Amino acid sequence: MKCDIAVVGSGLSALIATRTLQRAGRDPVLIWPGLSSLYFLYATVDVLGYPNPTTAEPVEEPVAGVRQLIAQNPDHPYARAGLAALQDGSSLFLEWLREAGFNWQGTLARNLLLPTATGTPKPSCLVPTSMVAGDLQRDEPIAFCGFDGYQDFIPELAASNLSRAWNGGHRTVTAARVSLPGVKPDQLFTSIDLARSFEDATFRREVASRLRHQVKDEGARLGMPAVLGLTHDTDVHAEFEKETGHPVFEIPTLPPSVLGLRLFDRLRRHIQETGVEMIWAAPAHDAEVANGRCLRIHLKSAGRETPVEARAFVLALEDAVDGAWRAGPHSVRDPFFHQLLAHHATPGERTDESLFQPQPFAGIGYPVSDRLQPSDKDGHPLASNVFVAGGGIAGYDPTGIKARGGMAIATGYRAAQEAMAA
């Protein structure tokens, strides 16, 4: 098939690139290889939480922090994308969220400090309104609330960790736990199941009533796992605050990420409803290059490959974890240009033994030009009309510096701009 610009990917950078193209009046096609990062991850937009992975002091002003990072590290994906791409991309993202019916808050000028499911303070920048009341820069006491049988959020653990970490232990943090109506003791359920249940008003009111009896401190904010609705979450959150009589904030949990699915489902639907075609279930590979330009890529459709011809391509791939690269015991190659992206004497070199250290595999990707074109090891673009966004860029590791959403937006936006100019 033929199209104007083809975007490959399923994460935030792919969605941003597609939206940027659509807003500019172009005709993108989104090639979707399967549900990945938004399903696994937080889905808040963290722009810069820490200046580097080893510093414990969080960044207060993310945009200033990114400016500094770019100045100090000209090869960083933020530097490649440029500060303007982060700023313009974020404005486009927030406007898109409003148009698609989301309720989000935050600015690039200031970080919020929000508790994680284990009670660790984490800097975040743009977040759903349902999380804002958790900001640890406010003083009100916090009561973490969990549910019997729900394994992915342990309120006692969150409370005990946060009471130590939050302002030197001078704040009140408690834990409460209630049973869920209609749930049998041995029943297995996920966050998604729970989120669907919370859309049922009877269920929700009963949980609210049980929580009211458990939480004695009338001035406390309630910290809940992010399960307050899947499709009507704005209403569910507002209603639940009324029903409990407390400010309520959501805390992202282990996969499946309710926050990520909300975002993915509605943004995807929104671009589809406004005219963008999406191709499901067709992993892309094999770029055909002639005279320095990519003519087409190939989709693994049922029965045979579908060639996709486009003026330009945005490869908004996810990172190494979800199979964007083809890894053998020694080498890691990309599926489009068959470049050797990394070579290791033993596979063990790809990982650090400590889970909390930067992982070498995370940085594997295409070296990119100043215009985000994938390049060979000598820095020559592999094709002038192909651009990389997100985890496909070498050195793209937002984990330690807490910059996941921001880097996806900046690179997605910039890659789309370049694709339009190609």
What residues make contact with other proteins under the rule CB under 8 A? 1-2, 10, 29, 33-36, 39-40, 187, 189-190, 192-193, 196, 255-256, 261, 269, 272-273, 277-283, 299-304, 306, 318, 322-323, 326-331, 346-347
Shortest distance (Å) from residue 99 CB to other proteins: 17
CB of 26 to other proteins, least distance (A): 16
Compute CA distances 291 → 3, 86, 382, whole Å: 20, 32, 10
The CB density around residue 84, as the number of other CB atoms within 10 Å, is 12
| 300: Cα within 13 Å, side-chain hemisphere | 10
Please state the φ and ψ torsions of residue 307, each to the nearest 5 degrees: -75, 135
CA distance 359 to 355: 8
Cβ(86)–Cβ(66) below 8 Å: yes
Q: What CA–CA distance (Å, rounded) separates 283 from 301?
A: 8
Which of 108/332 has CB closer to other proteins? 332
- Shorter beta-carbon distance to other proteins: residue 247 or 307: 307
Q: How far is the CB of 203 from other proteins (least distance, A)?
A: 13
DSSP character string of 143-168: EEEEETT-TT--HHHHHHHHHHHSGG
CB-based contacts of 416, cutoff 8 Å, min separation 6: 5, 7, 16, 17, 18, 20, 21, 24, 314, 387, 389
Cβ proximity to other proteins, 59 vs 267, nearer residue = 267
CB of 34 to other proteins, least distance (A): 4
- Our CB check for other proteins shows the closer of 33 and 398 to be 33
- Rounded to a whole number of angstroms, the minimum distance from the CB of residue 362 to other proteins is 16
Residues 112 and 60: beta-carbon distance below 8 Å: no
List of residues 6+ apart from 360 with CB closer than 8 A: 349, 350, 351, 352
5 or 173: CB nearest other proteins: 5
Q: Could you tell me the smallest distance in angstroms from the CB atom of residue 335 to other proteins?
A: 10
Can you read off the two tokens belonging to residue 395? 């050195």
| Closer residue to other proteins in complex, CB, 317/410 | 317
Least CB distance to other proteins at residue 315 (A): 16
Closest to other proteins by CB, 99 vs 139, is 99
